[in-house]
Amino acid sequence: MTAVLTSIRESSTGFKVRRLRIASLLTRRELADLAGVSREEVDLFEHNLPVKLDSKRRILKELWSRKAKK
């Protein structure tokens, strides 16, 4: 992968969500259950594919609340 594509991927929201999830020691299933969304929605979000705005909000809210507790 080229440096440009790598930097674009790493700056994407989905990539950041994945990094936060992993840093929180959560699987996609665990995050989905905590956020009240499907595992597929977490997967789509991490891959920058279309997801309902409410699902994105729930996922981000759960991740940010865990980060704030640290």
CATH number of 3-69, picked from 1.20.1420.30, 1.10.260.40, 1.10.3720.10, 1.10.540.10: 1.10.260.40
- Give me 5's structure tokens: 């594509």
Q: What are phi and psi of 20, to 5 degrees?
A: -65, -40
What DSSP designation does 26 have?
A: -
- The residue extents of the domains of the chain are 3-69
Q: How confident is the model at residue 6 (pLDDT cuts 50, 70, 90)?
A: low
Q: How confident is the model at residue 28 (pLDDT cuts 50, 70, 90)?
A: very high
Per-residue pLDDT, 54: 98
Q: Out of 11-15, 27-31, 34-38, pick the least confident.
A: 11-15
Provide the whole-model pTM: 0.82
Contact (CB, 8 A) for 31 and 62: yes
